[in-house]
Structure 1
Amino acid sequence: MEYRNLGRSGLKVPALSFGAGTFGGSGPLFGAWGNTDVGEASRLVDICLEAGVNLFDTADVYSDGASEEVLGAALKGRRDAVLISTKAGLPMGEGPNDAGTSRFRLIRSVEDALRRLGTDYIDILQLHAFDAFTPVEEVLATLDTLVRGGKVRYVGVSNFAGWQIMKSLAAAEKHGWPRYVANQVYYSLVGRDYEWDLMPLGADQGLGALVWSPLGWGRLTGKVRRGAPLPETSRLHETAGFGPPVEDEYLYGVVDVLEGIAGETGKTVPQVTLNWLLQRPTVSSVIIGARNEDQLRQNLGAVGWSLTDEQIGRLDAASAVTAPYPHFPYRRQEGFARLNPPLAG
């Protein structure tokens, strides 16, 4: 397994990490992902550690805390061998203080996560969404308290806009509070919006991308093909509405190229997809999920080899979309591009 620095921090993380969204699954979204129990989770953790995958990602909102509980039980007795990443901030109830990242909520959320995970500290705590009702100074001062108290080691964000991250980083710089070093983002061959603002920001400010849903909400598993019905086992039947839409012809064009390269390399469509992501700028780790051992072992096959430049170029071309303003001049007009060369694509 290859290990990379998490952004501009000194923490080394594996190129592939494991997402525990399937653990203890319940509800319309997480129940569709899977409902892995402690026994199954322990076996998946075994396979991950054998392959060098030692970073496990979860969130308090995943199945109302059940994911953290199952993950904590599966990691019992081997806490020192792993890194745990979790997220907080999304609603966990109907009460006025059951959502957001106020000092009250953040401290309580961390205490609850530590209890569910059965640990004394969280290696990477990420804010699951920007809270427009809480001043960034209050959020960052609270994170500083948690870091100084030894309950959190590193901090990051997820689902933030670029200006929200920069506002927070400016406040952290001014007051000497912990800077965000991780940005957990949606990024895939059929979802490249990360490249417009957040990737250049990450490169400039030292945030490493932890990529979620790298297979485009199940669209790039190799099971979705032109002219064929959606497989009965596809989780897209239940989860498609939770993610960004993808036009059919665009998807099929990307899948056509993926299948061709899979044939050339002797790899699977998911392995080719994940390998493409691993070669993108600012990507520290790609979070893979699995409902069973076969899926996990297949995804682990994305490392240890590399696509050629020519193959990457074909995938780039097949998945390219017109950038939104003000980005499109920088991609299409020579004068702009000379001043701001793209990091990717």
Structure 2
Amino acid sequence: MEQRRVGRTGLHVSLLGLGTMSWGLDTDAQDAGEQLRDFCEAGGTFVDTAASYSSGASEEIIGTLLGAVVGRDEVVLCTKGGIRATPSGRVVDASRGGLIGSLDASLKRLGTDHVDLYLVQAPDPHTPLEETVSAMRHIVTSGRARYVGLSNHTAWQTGFAAAMLPAHGDAELAAVEVEHSLLERAIERDVVPAVEALGTGLVAWSALGRGVLTGKYRRSLPADSRGASRHLAGFVEPYLDDRASSIVDAVCTAAHGLGRAPLEVALAWVLERPYVACALVGARTPAQLREALSALDLDLPHAVATALDDVSSLDSEASPGT
């Protein structure tokens, strides 16, 4: 699998990343282990998790698999913090104490003394961005993470952090992680120009449009799908509208003509974006991951790529935000 450089840093990651949001919830430890083994055998290195995934269970499963399935030095490990559980529900907390405390707990669950990339998972309207950036700088200088970045932040927040991080220490904004697919192209307006100008790497999450671009929702709502689950139905629902349907139809038409699966076409479109360092796929089962890995050898014909660009263009109705 191709390894791409993350922005201007010395960090390199696999073109396809392994998302683990469902681990500990819809994916048990056995299936997770099989996914990790298949992913690494295919040349994959980038494993993405978060403290908030399954209330820490995703990180715990990864911790049991490192050393047992693959060596710690065989993966580029990324986790995220800044969202914590409270008695009244989950809240965003990107304060200094919130981020450092969250990362320390993540490291314990992961069974390692550092992660390769640590991301602030969401903007915190109650904490000055200067404080968040100060915490990110400390996380690097203390050795808890090799690199830091932002997830789901705006272009101006990205620019601010990129300017502030190196001001008082040896740290830089290595990466941003944002949703990007044929169903979510809004980042092309501002985030993509920002990261290209700043030399920051971009990791695309939900590259398959929250699973909708697989075509599984074209005719019905499968009972075993995320869209039918109690905890993820709201995550999928925004992409079950008429605009998304027309894009999915175009993907399926292209896939039929190429003799490939719709998810391969949709994923290939993201992987061919020159500004994407890595595209994440969060498979629920090992079989789903193997299908995604099969997309790595697909080069979209120019006419197909252009048609998909047109049908999903930003001139169409705005899609859900991140």
Q: TM-score, normalised by structure 2?
A: 0.91
CA drift of 1:244 comes to 7.4
- Which residue of 2 is the match for residue 299 of structure 1? 292
1:140/1:178 contact within 8 Å kept: no
- Which residue of 2 is the match for residue 332 of structure 1? none
Gaps of 5+ in 1: 26-33, 326-345
CA drift of 1:200 comes to 0.6
CA drift of 1:94 comes to 4.2
- Which residue of 1 is the match for residue 17 of structure 2? 17
CA drift of 1:313 comes to 0.2
2:80/2:121 contact within 8 Å kept: yes
CA drift of 1:264 comes to 2.4
The question of 1:139 aligning with 2:132 is answered yes
81, 94, 103: which one aligns with 1:101 = 94
69, 75, 84: which one aligns with 1:82 = 75
1:56/1:83 contact within 8 Å kept: yes
183, 191, 211: which one aligns with 1:190 = 183
Q: Which amino acid aligns with 2:24?
A: G
The question of 1:208 aligning with 2:195 is answered no
Superposition RMSD in Å: 2.2
CA distance in 1, matches of 2:286, 2:165: 42
CA distance in 2, matches of 1:60, 1:92: 10
Q: Summarize the Cα distance change of 1:297–1:262 in structure 2 as closer, same or farther, 3 Å threshold.
A: same
CA distance in 2, matches of 1:243, 1:181: 29
Which protein is bigger by CA-based radius of gyration? 1
- Which residue of 1 is the match for residue 60 of structure 2? 69
Q: In the comparison of the two structures, how many residue pairs are matched?
A: 314
CA drift of 1:317 comes to 0.9
CA distance in 1, matches of 2:40, 2:235: 31
CA distance in 2, matches of 1:252, 1:242: 16
CA distance in 2, matches of 1:71, 1:145: 25
Q: Summarize the Cα distance change of 1:308–1:290 in structure 2 as closer, same or farther, 3 Å threshold.
A: same
262, 279, 288: which one aligns with 1:286 = 279
Q: TM-score, normalised by structure 1?
A: 0.85
CA distance in 2, matches of 1:248, 1:289: 22
SS at match of 2:177: strand
- Deviation track 1:244-279 (CA, whole Å, cap 9, x = no partner) reads 724633222212221222122221000100000011
CA distance in 2, matches of 1:224, 1:93: 34
SS at match of 2:149: strand
Identity of aligned residues (%): 38
237, 245, 267: which one aligns with 2:228 = 237
- Deviation track 1:162-195 (CA, whole Å, cap 9, x = no partner) reads 1112222222243345221211111111111111
More strand by share: 2
CA drift of 1:107 comes to 1.7
